[in-house]
């Protein structure tokens, strides 16, 4: 694992919506460069940039039409290189978003593969051998060219699945190729070239989209794991410092494949939603939440993956509701961040979550966002027009700004020691200066019962974190006993005749 991941804090940037430098209403690389000092001031040490490659933007750039070219609306490859350089000069790494599972229908590879005559790209995608036959269990594109076949799609109908082969090809279905067949091999080599290209230009690694989906008919993911192990070997040889984080949501599999990190996600088995995004989130004053399912799953994953890599818990991302949609008040958000920034793994902060940006309700879908669009609104910098995001006319903005008069802004929170932003900065500073709170130090949960409050866990056996997100005092009944307080939110814990009471909506980190 690259050394820097041991103490990394990531910041996810949706490039469309972060900072527009040329008044076209869409964010861009130069805009991001102009905000790097802000990102550094948050204590973030790395950026995950959502896809920024040429694309018709039917799925916000997750439909790539040229893997080797920056989308002109964000700038040129040179501008992106400048972003790498400027970030590096501030000690910030940049991970690009690799979308290896599918392309846009406009990708030249797909256009070639649509042709009836066999050519170099005929096997680049997962095609059946008859237009009347659809690939079992997958949606497909059919009847759109002279090629007599149906092409599997991975996500939206305009995202044809690249062919990495089948783990268990059905012998009766000749079109299902083994992973070792020339077509799948060529696809993987092409993807390695894409990685080589950007790592060579200065990128520090990749977040990998739908990383667990590449090999088909692969019920236990063995083929996909083997594929990523091959990628790991290639990276170890050519780019040993490249950091890899997967959108997979099953750390036991992804880390076995050689990823350094995997996310817990709003889908899959992690119970992540129980914490922040459900009818009764755990991080809520009402105190009706239940973190036990999350903790159980986390421990299971933690034991299976111990020391192999990192489990990353994001504050949110471009696919899920904003954290502030269900964790509504400032103090609850602070406590949520206390959790996120004192857990092992590498924390990921979704842009704007650090000021409590809200989900913008009622928006028309933009570029395949649908419900996700409300979490993709422009960053709110200050009280100038368009919240400082862009000098374009408001109607031209990629997605409208949160219309609320009291929308949170960076400028509004910057000088306020009680703001969420100030708290997030203090928490990242605490983490970065406290080895026991960093990526690899052990965690042990003490509160594991159903519906139990407060949340308590130790780090490296030397620090104790206690968080009471509820509006009621809660008793701490575990050992070790909190001793020296090194961080506190809200009122101090009270010890009285052997009882330790954690005041409402408070939290602390203690040496034990
Ligand atoms: C991932 C991305 C999501 C995208 C999908 C298809 O889940 O995070 O935004 O739509 O993959 O590429």
3-state secondary structure 343-395: CCCCCEEECCHHHCCCCCCCCCCCCCCHHHHHHCCCCCCCCCHHHHCCCCCHH
What fold does the segment set 102-163 form as a domain?
Oligo-1,6-glucosidase; domain 2 (3.90.400)
Report the alpha-carbon distance of residue 79 to residue 117 in Å, rounded.
39
Domain with CATH 3.20.20.80 in the chain: 3-100+184-433
For ligand 1, pick from 13, 102, 107, 210 the residue to mutate: most ligand atoms within 8 Å of CB.
Answer: 210
- For ligand 1, atom 4, which residue shows the shortest CA distance? 62
Tell me how far the alpha carbon of residue 255 lies from the centroid of ligand 1, in angstroms: 20
Distance 275 CA to ligand 1 centre (A): 22
Question: In testing the pocket of ligand 1, which one of 155, 312, 375 has its CB within 8 Å of the most ligand atoms?
Answer: 155
Assign domain 445-511 to a CATH class: mainly beta
Ligand 1 atom closest to 154 (CA): 6
| Residue 348: both structure tokens together | 């990921």
Pairing of the two strands 10-13 and 243-246: unpaired
Residue 126 near residue 163, CB atoms below 8 Å: yes
Place of tokens 């269900």: 326
Q: What is the pLDDT of residue 17?
A: 98
Q: Specify the domain boundaries for CATH 2.60.40 within the chain.
A: 445-511
Give the 3-state secondary structure of residue 310. strand
pLDDT at 498: 87
Single pTM value for the model = 0.98
Inter-CA distances, 507 with 456, 461, 469, Å: 10, 18, 8
Contact residues of ligand 1, CB 6 A cut-off: 59, 62, 99, 155, 209-210, 247, 318-319
* Dist. CA 161 → ligand 1 center (Å): 13
- Give the pLDDT of residue 306: 82
DSSP tag of 50: P
Q: Which fold has domain 3-100+184-433?
A: TIM Barrel (3.20.20)
Q: What atom of ligand 1 comes closest to residue 368's alpha carbon?
A: 10
Burial of 40: CB neighbours in 10 Å, binned 0-12, 13-18, 19+: middle
**Tokens read off for 433:** 């200066």
Q: Which atom of ligand 1 is nearest to the CA of 62?
A: 12
pLDDT value at residue 317: 98
Task: Please give the number of the atom of ligand 1 that sits closest to the Cα of 63.
Answer: 12
Indicate which residue's Cα is closest to atom 9 of ligand 1: 319
C-beta contacts of 475-483 below 8 A and 24+ residues apart: 475/499, 475/500, 475/501, 475/502, 476/500, 476/501, 476/502, 478/446, 478/447, 480/512, 481/512, 482/508, 482/510, 482/512, 483/510, 483/511, 483/512
Looking at the chain, the domain(s) classified CATH 3.90.400.10 span 102-163
User: Cα(387) to centroid of ligand 1, in Å?
Assistant: 27
> Looking up tokens 């009347």, which residue turns up?
132
Per-residue model confidence (pLDDT) at position 497: 86
Ligand 1 pocket: which of 101, 319, 348, 366 to mutate (most atoms <8 Å of CB)? 319
pLDDT at residue 329 in the model: 95
Shortest-distance atom of ligand 1 to CA 99: 12
pLDDT less than 70: residues of the chain: none
Q: Which residue numbers are catalytic? A: 209, 247
SS3 266: coil
- Measured in Å, residue 376 CA sits from the centre of ligand 1 at 13
Distance of CA 123 to the CA centre of its chain: 31
Give CA 133 to chain center in angstroms.
36
How close is the Cα of 145 to the center of ligand 1, in Å? 26
Per-residue pLDDT reduced to its tens digit, 452-471: 999 999 999 999 999 999 99
pLDDT of residue 307: 80
Structural contact between residues 29 and 75, judged by C-beta atoms closer than 8 angstroms: yes
């Amino acid at each position: 694992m690259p050394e820097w991941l041991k103490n990394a804090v990531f910041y996810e940037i949706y490039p469309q919506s972060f900072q527009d430098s040329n008044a076209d209403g869409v964010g861009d690389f130069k805009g991001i460069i102009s905000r790097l000092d802000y990102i550094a001031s948050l204590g973030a040490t790395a950026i995950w940039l959502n896809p920024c490659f040429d694309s018709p933007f039917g799925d916000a750039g997750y439909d790539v039409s040229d893997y080797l070219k920056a989308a002109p609306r964000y700038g040129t490859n040179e501008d992106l290189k400048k972003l790498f350089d400027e970030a590096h000069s501030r000690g910030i790494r940049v991970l690009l978003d690799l979308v290896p599972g599918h392309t846009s229908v406009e990708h030249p590879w797909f256009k070639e593969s649509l042709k009836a005559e066999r050519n170099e790209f005929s096997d680049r995608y997962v095609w059946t051998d008859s237009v009347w036959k659809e690939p079992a269990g997958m949606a497909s594109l059919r009847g759109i060219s002279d090629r007599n076949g149906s092409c599997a799609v991975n996500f939206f109908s305009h995202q044809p699945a690249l062919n990495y082969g089948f783990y268990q090809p059905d012998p009766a279905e000749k079109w299902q190729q083994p992973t070792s067949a020339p077509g799948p091999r060529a696809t993987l080599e092409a993807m390695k070239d894409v990685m080589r290209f950007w790592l060579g230009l200065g990128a520090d690694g990749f977040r990998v989209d739908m990383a667990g989906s590449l090999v088909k008919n692969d019920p236990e993911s063995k083929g996909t794991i083997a594929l990523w192990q091959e990628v790991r070997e290639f990276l170890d040889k050519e780019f040993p410092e490249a950091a890899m984080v997967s959108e997979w949501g099953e750390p036991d599999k992804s880390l076995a494949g050689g990823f350094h990190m995997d996310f817990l996600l709003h889908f899959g088995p992690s119970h992540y939603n129980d914490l922040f995004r459900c009818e009764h989130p755990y991080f809520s004053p009402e105190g009706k939440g239940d973190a036990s399912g999350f903790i159980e799953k986390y421990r299971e994953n933690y034991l299976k993956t111990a020391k192999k890599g990192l489990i990353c818990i994001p504050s949110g991302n471009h696919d899920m509701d904003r954290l502030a949609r269900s964790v509504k008040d400032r103090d609850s958000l602070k406590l949520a961040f206390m959790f996120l920034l004192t857990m092992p793994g590498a924390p990921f902060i979704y842009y704007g979550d650090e000021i409590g940006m809200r989900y913008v309700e009622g928006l028309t879908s933009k570029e395949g966002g649908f419900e996700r669009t409300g979490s993709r609104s422009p960053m709110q910098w200050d009280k100038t027009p368009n919240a400082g995001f862009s000098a374009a006319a408001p109607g031209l903005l990629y997605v409208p700004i949160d219309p609320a008069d009291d929308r949170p802004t960076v400028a509004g929170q910057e000088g306020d020691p009680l703001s969420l932003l100030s708290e997030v900065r203090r928490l990242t500073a605490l983490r970065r200066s406290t080895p026991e709170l960093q990526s690899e130090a052990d965690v042990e949960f003490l509160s594991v019962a159903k519906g139990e409050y407060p949340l308590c866990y130790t780090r490296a056996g030397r620090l104790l974190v206690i968080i009471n997100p509820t509006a009621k005092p809660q008793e701490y009944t575990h050992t070790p006993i909190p001793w020296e307080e090194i961080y506190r939110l809200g009122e101090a814990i009270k010890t009285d005749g052997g009882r330790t009471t954690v005041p409402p909506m408070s939290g602390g980190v203690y040496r034990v």
